[in-house]
Amino acid sequence: LAKTTQPISMDSYEGQEVNITCSHNNIATNDYITWYQQFPSQGPRFIIQGYKTKVTNEVASLFIPADRKSSTLSLPRVSLSDTAVYYCLVGAPESSASKIIFGSGTRLSIRP
Amino acid sequence: NAGVTQTPKFQVLKTGQSMTLQCAQDMNHNSMYWYRQDPGMGLRLIYYSASEGTTDKGEVPNGYNVSRLNKREFSLRLESAAPSQTSVYFCASVSGTVHSPLHFGNGTRLTVT
């Protein structure tokens, strides 16, 4: 699996747009980029996944440049409830005997 | 649809005691995983099972054993608990279809005194 690098922490305010960037220089051709969100005392939950360009769902957008060596998770108009740890993973989980390794994630704190 | 169910939710052990953490999924997923998460830290992979009948070591397997009992169930055993194993343990599963995401349980909070 490709190694990923993300900021350890970020702070923002309610109503702002938050962008969290993840670097994955060694991404393989078949790899997808997947983001998870983890609230305190809960297991991570899937937010969004993409392969290239832009993906948008009801929660977030994911921007992936043409070289795919990085990706940016964008959270529009954050609220206090978006305070969580966000993990970027790169790989193909469905491949056989696949280790799925999480990094340290980005701890996002939203202030009133 | 329960998803991934972990039992127990909380457990306190004395050093040297043994216990088994249970995990079951009802989504017919092929692969299952055990992670531990220490306070303020990320998740670390202990063991995983790519399919029924197979298990493999993750990043931190020492002190643990696993059993993939059937397609639904994947248990984690601590034979002789140590204070360093105090952590929150999460079980997860993934279907194995193309680029499907992980589904996590709510965790077991284990304290070893």
- Å between B105 CA and nearest CA of chain A: 6
Lowest mean pLDDT among A18-32, A83-97, B7-21: A83-97
The phi and psi torsions of A37 (rounded to 5 degrees) equal -120, 135
Poorest-pLDDT segment among A6-15, A96-105, B2-11? A96-105
Between B31, B88, B101, which is nearest A49 by CB?
B101
A91: confidence class by pLDDT, cuts 50, 70, 90: confident
Identify the pLDDT of residue A96: 43
Model confidence at A93, in pLDDT bands (50, 70, 90)? low
Instruction: Please tell me the distance in Å from B81's CA to the nearest CA on chain A.
Output: 22
Report pLDDT for A42. Answer: 93
The rounded distance, in Å, linking the Cα atoms of B75 and B98 is: 26
Between CA B109 and CA A24 the distance in angstroms is 32
For residue A100, the model assigns a pLDDT of 83
* Average pLDDT over every residue of B2-11: 95
Of A34, A46, A98, the CB nearest to B50: A98
Which strand ranges, in their side-by-side order, compose the sheet holding A45-50?
Answer: A9-13, A106-111, A84-91, A32-38, A45-50
pLDDT tens profile B90-103: 999 988 776 788 99
Residue B56 has which token pair?
A: 């493999």
Number of H helices, E strands in chain B: 0, 11
By mean pLDDT, which of A38-42, A61-65, A88-92, B72-76 is the weakest? A88-92
HSE on the CB side for A40, CA within 13 Å? 6
A112 and chain B in contact, CB less than 8 A: no
B16 strand-pairing partners: none
Contact B90 A43 (CB under 8 A): yes
Amino acid identity at A97 = A
Question: Mean pLDDT, to the nearest integer, of A7-23?
Answer: 97
On average, the pLDDT of chain B sits at 93
Q: What was the pLDDT predicted at A1?
A: 59
Closest Cβ opposite residue A102 in set B42, B95, B103: B42
For chain A, the residue count is 112
Average pLDDT of the residues in B2-25:
96
A21 close to B (CB below 8 A): no
Question: Residue A35: is its pLDDT beyond 50?
Answer: yes
CB contact under 8 A, A97 and B42: no
**Dihedral sign (CA A62, B5, A95, B37):** positive
